[in-house]
Structure 1
Amino acid sequence: MFLFIKQSLTQFRFLTVSARPSVPGYSFRKSWSNEEDLMLREARVKYGRSWRVIALSFPGRTPSACSSRFARLTNDPKPIHGRSLAWTEEETNLLREKVAEYGSRWKFLASSHFPNRAPTQLANHWTVKGNPRRRLGTWLPEEETRLFDAIQNDKLTSQAVAQRVGTRNAWQCWYKYHNITQSKKKGPFTHEEDKAILDAFKLHPRAWRFIASEVSKVTGVKRVPGQCRYRYERDLDPRVVKVPWTAEEDKILVDAYNHHGSRLSTIPQFLPNYRGWLRIQERIRILKGRGVIESLNSEDES
């Protein structure tokens, strides 16, 4: 009896699922005909915003496609937020005019002047194309001068700084200032930087974050902890021997590498001079490029 009930329920569930109309998960890219547009308007009046029901009358059309098409036909203020409509030149000019009048009040502008656009769409289009002050390309020296004058002389908002610069938007001004003042410096270390690293190392040995901050305070140039550590352990450490490598050292280095692999914490103890792990790593790379390590391996195997 229970088996019969279970089978009956299974059959009923199968019939229920099979009888349910299917809605396509994707839309064919084909143009809408005039007949379809007329049917869409009639279905919208009949079924309201039930786009899944409306899509059943249009084979190959998804609910989102029907909603987007109706938005294009009637400027429906509440389309499905998906693929946005292409901006026209008239809309861009209207956006510039209204931003100049009301500022960046995107919600107000979307509700009062752009009923078919979301506030985020207005903000994104303004940033990418609408802002007339947005200039592309390399910054000119006079632009950088106006940027630093606006930031350092007055406590202004980002929008006010952009107005002072005149040729860039707020995002471009912030990004440029951040790159100049906060990003790490690249290139060789100066004598002033080397002295700052050594002085800071005496106070807090191997505290690379503290050392990097002290270098920035003394020199006014930002160096990250990894740069300071690399500079000290390769060039400034007084224990490091910087004379050219001898043939004996190369032989010891290759034997140690063949026996211990790339364990840079173990290999230095076999060398007669202190080279530091960075210089050892560089020497191993050079010997690999010359084929010395592989040739010695082949000789040992023979």
Structure 2
Amino acid sequence: MPQLVFGIAQRTIVRLFDRVRFLTTPAFSYTRQRTSNRWSDAESRVLSQKYAELGAEWDTISRSIPGRTPDACSYRSRFLGLTTNLALTKSTTPVRWTEEDDQLLRKQFGIYGRRWTFLATRFFPNRSDFQLSSRWKTTLKDKSCGKWTSEESERLKIAVAKYGVSNWVSVARDVNTRTACQCRAKIYASDSSVKKGRFTKAEDDFILAAYNRYKGDWIAIADDLYKVFGHRRISKQCVSRYYNYLNPELVKGPYTLEEQEALIGAYYQYEGRLCEIARALPQRSYKMHEYQLEKLKRMGRILPVGVKKIGSGGLIQ
């Protein structure tokens, strides 16, 4: 009996010692000194090489780049286009931005707005959508957001009177603090000729034909729709209609069981971010995924992000 008590006490002490050691020993990745310096070309090359060898093993990769944490390596990989779906067909070699690149991005952003995937595919074949977004936000963004001031509205009114409603790049240049897309949306937001609500079959057929003719130039498509039907649909309406309903590459009909499982997996992987889910599962549209996720939530098959079902007995965090 005394031996049994002694053995239990000994095991308890060992467990307590292991527990204390676990709680008081700092993890390697959190004790390493971080650097706030910009990434060098050499560091980016090492990151690209290690990612090609190891995949997304960020803790292991970070040990090859002194002063960089796993999170920093993961974020940098997205900036370089290593871990985005779009980047699978693009070069992973870091390429410096030139003044010509910046000018092209400013010009096309003024026309198309924040359509990063479209801009990358059409105008920047060696860069990912994430690279364009980051370049804009960190370096090039100099336009206002939010409510228009009275001075901006007055400049817009004068510019539209000067250039009309077809040369939005020139209008935006005169306004100076807003993009072409913002100027166009501001004018048409209060325009009674802008039609809201359901699209007709004739409008759908026109958008499909115009998409093939203009190769995704939505401002031109919206302008032609106005000439044909006599009412306006802004470019954003046309974009949404095509990509959510008309795109012939979309799979129609109820989701299969395999599609539901893939959608649930993507929901947890991307923490509910619909844009990334739609990019990962392009056979269905953003709206289709949105509606299906709501249905799965009502059925109890999807739980809040970070919580997953296990078997039939409980939850894990």
TM-score norm. by structure 1 comes to 0.35
Greater relative contact order structure (CA < 8 Å, 6+ sep):
2
Which is higher, the Rg of structure 1 or of structure 2? 1
